[in-house]
Amino acid sequence: MRSVLYSLALPLAAAAIAVSPPVHPSPEGKGTGRWADAYASARRLVRQMTLEEKANLTRGFTRGDNVCAGNTGSVPRLGWPGMCLHDAGNGVRATDMVSSYPAGLHVGASWDKNLTYQRGVYMGKEFRAKGVNIALGPNAGPLGRTPLGGRNWEGFSVDPYLSGQLNAETITGYQDAGVIANLKHFIGNEQETYRRPYFGVEAASSNIDDRTLHEYYLWPFMDGVQAGAASIMCSYNRVNNTYSCENSRLINGVLKGELAFDGFVMLDWNAQHNLDSANAGLDMVMPLGGSWGQNLTQAVRNGSVSESRVTDMATRILAAWYLVGQDSPDFPPPGVGMKNLTQPHDPVDARVPASKPVLLAGAVAGHVLVKNALVEDTRRALPFAARPAMLSVFGYDASVPPTKNTDALFQLGYMSSQEMGQAVLGTARHFDQAARGGTIVVGGRAGANAPPYISDPLSAIQRRAAVDGTWVNWDLTSPDPDVNGASSACLVFINAMATEGWDRDGLHDDASDALVLRVAAKCANTVVVVHAAGIRLVDRWIEHPNVTAAVLAHLPGQDSGAALVRLLYGDDNFSGRLPYTLARNESDYSVYAPCGRGRDNTTSPQCDYTEGVYLDYRAFDARNVTPRYEFGFGLSYTTFDYSALSLAPEAGLCASAGNGTADLWATLARVEATVTNSGAVAGDEVAQLYLGIPDSPPKQLRGFEKVPLRPGESATVRFELTRRDLSVWDVTGQRWVVQAGTYPVYVGASSRDVRLTGTLVVVEGASA
Ligand code: BGC
């Protein structure tokens, strides 16, 4: 078994042209389990519809009375109102009177399932209040194959397990609030370079072997389907040379077949190239009729699409609507709060007072402290002494941008619509890596929204200074600022921006690094804060003796400055952990550049995922490359001890194959450990479990629990390992299998700070 799997894991030969075999027919939604009632209601309503009415459900229409990213048709004859579809990532986009939540990457850095669920619920309530039926998120793709990916920050983590857990919490939260989640982008949407076909050049083809597909890119989508995601958005790119939205192997075969997905598959905007996508399993086209327009009914009449396929589309769409309770008479009319902001309108205030603590806690939780040096015998740079006498603040990222806009790109300062057009192609232009127009709380375009306010670092520090009597100096523009020699501490704020439509040009920029070094040359206690829409390297300055502390502050949303001040002054403790590996050099990543860049003569860009699942820490571990800060790392103001590892069963498990999806979620093993706060202040520890699966990367994340602990307090952390957690994908058998072998279990504070080690043994046995 072992050697068979190993050979199956071999990557695609780069020279071979990858193909995606057709899989037909498109499985009809079954409506089992949690879907049963919703399907019964949907089938009742669909039975009364004409073909035209069913087809109208599956496509978009222009509506003058709202700015929703898309609107489905309605069926007035049967009282069905249609649906408004709208973005997404950190709050309701392109409107007023909503909140700006921490962005995906920030949530990933929190490693906090409970807070992620609550964020989902409150964000979901805001979508609902605005009359948005379908929230176009969360995001499980891109995962972050290339660290330069322009949209990596919209998702939670490059690690499929962490991404999957937090996607599941978000989906449950949205749908508990009554909004249809739309898990996107399915699948292999790993770069913005060549993201769409343009001027005769096809979109990039992500050529992914079957094992890598299952164990990496599909993994978080499995969690989403398991959590009940009512819709999934297919992606712009091709996979194995077939466009994702007409890829019957992926939609019919994997999603609706293997994963038994009962929701509907929605087109990414204008990503349809072929009416036959209906037979490949696509259920809804957006923003308008796509190539199916009026032609879908025509296609049924001429026999190229069956009416039962259209009935299945309509049933899946309506079942999603019923599943989350949108048949309730108090669900707001579609798009009611989504008026054109330049026209007179009575704004619908969607914010819920009870969300305030969740917004602030979420902003706090995604900050990762990576350096905190001793500045006196026993005192570290952070937290600040109770009342610092003098603080000096530097850097373009310390204060609010001069203009408020709905998708944060204004901070870049110079992106014209022509540049945006080129950005879609993604080859011609790039922007300065830093957004110099002010602090960033989110990345750009579909994942962004407008905040009610921005609590920026400098104002939050000044508010605190007013209470404490601290003297504050600031210079946010000079590349080489003067520093008052009496400063208790100097704070330097820099950022790294990223946006949909454009991959990043690098992982650090010289101007920002130079600013840090110039301040550090003059100030013995320099604290660097980096707002970052992705991985941002720190090696140019992290070892400078005057850089006494460094914080990766990610994208905190509206309460950015307030959250930071709570952390700097020790009102709250740092509890964020890196949801990615921070390398010393760009070249340390197993995949760095987006594929196709610089190859301007290609008309069919090919991205061979020859690295398989060896990305981020899986690759650093396997190749023995030392990172600057490893996956899962983050400092705290306290310390934690780990003890008393226990594993069950102690006897060997039997090797076996899963029979279908349901038993993949059965618990096969339990692991427990005790975590104790051994320091002097309260703090949250993120206990992490990594598993060594035979013929796989040395360690893979398979559990994490965030526990709040007072000084001296202990807690038991419990991890349940499911059949899927122990399995690899057997390409020949097309099933998940638990191989015989020895599985090291590592429990600790990061992927490299292992505190406890145990072993699970799987012996040869009869198939389950
Ligand atoms: C993006 C999607 C987004 C949609 C609607 C597309 O360009 O890729 O993520 O949901 O637009 O705004």
Nearest atom within ligand 1 for CA of residue 154: 9
436 pLDDT band, cuts 50/70/90, is confident
Per-residue pLDDT, 608: 96
What separation in angstroms does the CA of 388 have from each of 81, 540, 637? Answer: 59, 28, 18
Give the bridge partners for 717, in sequence order. 673
Q: Percent of the chain having pLDDT more than 90?
A: 84
Determine the Cα–Cα distance for residues 753 and 756; give it in Å rounded to an integer. Answer: 9
Ligand 1 near 135 CB (within 6 A): no
- Write out pLDDT tens, residues 360-380: 999 999 999 999 999 988 899
Q: Encoding tokens for residue 512? A: 């920002």
- Write out pLDDT tens, residues 239-283: 999 999 999 999 999 999 999 999 999 999 999 999 999 999 999
Question: Is the confidence at residue 758, as pLDDT, over 70?
Answer: yes
Ligand 1 centroid to Cα of residue 244, in Å, is 15
262 a catalytic residue: no
767 pLDDT band, cuts 50/70/90, is very low
Q: Domain 354-581 adopts which CATH fold? A: Rossmann fold (3.40.50)
- Write out pLDDT tens, residues 567-596: 999 999 999 999 999 999 999 999 999 998
Per-residue pLDDT, 8: 33
Ligand 1 near 184 CB (within 6 A): yes
Beta strand 754-763 with 741-748 is: antiparallel
Per-residue pLDDT, 371: 98
Ligand 1 near 169 CB (within 6 A): no
Q: In testing the pocket of ligand 1, which one of 195, 269, 406, 502 has its CB within 8 Å of the most ligand atoms?
A: 269
Per-residue pLDDT, 431: 59
Ligand 1 centroid to Cα of residue 85, in Å, is 10
Ligand 1 near 186 CB (within 6 A): no
Question: Is the confidence at residue 558, as pLDDT, over 50?
Answer: yes
Q: Residue 151 phi/psi, 5° resolution?
A: -115, 10
Q: Residue 621 phi/psi, 5° resolution?
A: -65, -45
Ligand 1 near 94 CB (within 6 A): no
Rg for the chain (alpha carbons), in Å? 26
Nearest CA among 102, 85, 222 for reference residue 658? 222
Point out the least confidently predicted range of 190-199, 307-316, 361-370.
190-199
CA dihedral 105, 109, 115, 121 (to 10 degrees): 10
Nearest atom within ligand 1 for CA of residue 447: 9
Ligand 1 near 268 CB (within 6 A): yes
Question: Is the confidence at residue 6, as pLDDT, over 60?
Answer: no
Per-residue pLDDT, 58: 97
Determine the Cα–Cα distance for residues 400 and 238; give it in Å rounded to an integer. Answer: 39
Residues 6 or more apart whose Cβ sits within 8 Å of residue 110: 102, 116, 362, 365, 366, 575, 576, 706
Question: Is the confidence at residue 428, as pLDDT, over 80?
Answer: no
Is the CB of residue 505 less than 8 Å from the CB of residue 430?
yes
Per-residue pLDDT, 437: 85
Per-residue pLDDT, 415: 43
- Write out pLDDT tens, residues 376-422: 888 999 999 889 999 999 999 999 988 776 555 544 433 444 444 44
Closest residue by CA, ligand 1 atom 8: 268
Nearest atom within ligand 1 for CA of residue 182: 10
For CATH 2.60.40.10, the residue range(s) in the chain are 638-762
For CATH 3.40.50.1700, the residue range(s) in the chain are 354-581
The CATH number of domain 29-323, selected from 3.90.700.10, 3.40.50.1970, 3.40.50.720, 3.20.20.300? 3.20.20.300
Question: Is the confidence at residue 430, as pLDDT, over 80?
Answer: no
Instruction: Identify the CATH number of the domain defined by range 638-762.
Output: 2.60.40.10
* Residue 21 CB neighbour total at 10 angstroms: 9
- Residue with more model confidence, 440 or 766: 440
Nearest atom within ligand 1 for CA of residue 136: 10
Ligand 1 centroid to Cα of residue 227, in Å, is 22
Ligand 1 centroid to Cα of residue 90, in Å, is 14
Determine the Cα–Cα distance for residues 486 and 540; give it in Å rounded to an integer. Answer: 26
What separation in angstroms does the CA of 571 have from each of 127, 464, 681? Answer: 32, 12, 10
Prediction pTM value: 0.96
Catalytic option among 87, 268, 312, 730:
268
Nearest atom within ligand 1 for CA of residue 70: 5
Ligand 1 near 87 CB (within 6 A): yes
Ligand 1 centroid to Cα of residue 334, in Å, is 19
Residue with token string 């075969």: 253
